[in-house]
Amino acid sequence: MTGYVVALTGGIASGKSAVERRFEALGIHAYDADLAARAVVEPGSEALSEIAQAFGPEVLAADGRLDRTAMRQRIFADPTARTTLEGILHPRIRTWLRDAVAADEGPYCILSIPLLVENREHYAWVDRILVVDAPEHVRLDRLTRRDSIEPALAAKMIAAQASHPERLAIADDVIVNDGDESSLDEAVAALDRTYRELAAR
């Protein structure tokens, strides 16, 4: 089992995935809450059944999987729906992540949690927090292009998450990702050296 766990977080479209890939290229395993969220709602799962009961069959696609676009529209239009969905998913996601960390055998591992600020009390067991930071106008531009959505929806998605000061307040380390992705290489390599040293203590 890995003894040292670094939680990676950042606002939507800040570049968490790009940072995560660079740690993985250095031989570090990253366990992503977004992947866990997909894993726990596979067809036949208890979570998917609960979601269908709570929201109706219209949130299921023709193949029986969760229709993420329909679900996204529901939760951003209705805060109560978001709370209901999180109540179904988050405990299962946390269990999935704890199990993954427990089985890891690397020098340390990365736990990628987009909503870490909002769920900090559930992850008090992590050793360190790395925040990927980018200005809001950069994130807005990335999000509209990446997801092919209107700027108004992108702005609503950004506003639904923790604020910039709230994320920085919990950070042990910060990577600013406001330029070309290749500029992340050096920052990640330096943090990898630091985390290996900390894990070895």
Q: Is 8 helix (H, G, I), strand (E, B) or coil?
A: strand
Closest CA to 59 of 51, 39, 41: 51
Phi, psi of 147 (to 5 degrees): -100, 0
pTM given for the model? 0.84
pLDDT value at residue 108: 97
Single-letter amino acid code for the residue at 154: A
CA 46 to chain centre: 22
pLDDT value at residue 77: 86
How far is the C-alpha of 172 from the C-alpha of 161, rounded, in Å? Answer: 20
Contact 4, 107 (CB under 8 A): yes
How far is the C-alpha of 95 from the C-alpha of 110, rounded, in Å? Answer: 16
Structure tokens belonging to residue 58: 């219209």
Write a three-state SS string for 48-97: HHHHHHHHCHHHECCCCCECHHHHHHHHHHCHHHHHHHHHHHHHHHHHHH
pLDDT in tens, the chain (201 residues): 458 999 999 988 888 999 999 999 999 999 999 899 999 999 999 999 999 999 999 999 999 999 998 898 898 888 899 999 999 999 999 999 999 999 999 999 999 998 899 889 999 999 999 999 998 888 998 899 888 888 888 898 888 888 889 999 999 999 999 888 888 999 999 999 999 999 998
Reported as type and span, the H/E element at residue 130 is strand 128-133
Task: Find the largest Cα–Cα distance for the chain.
Answer: 52
pLDDT value at residue 157: 87
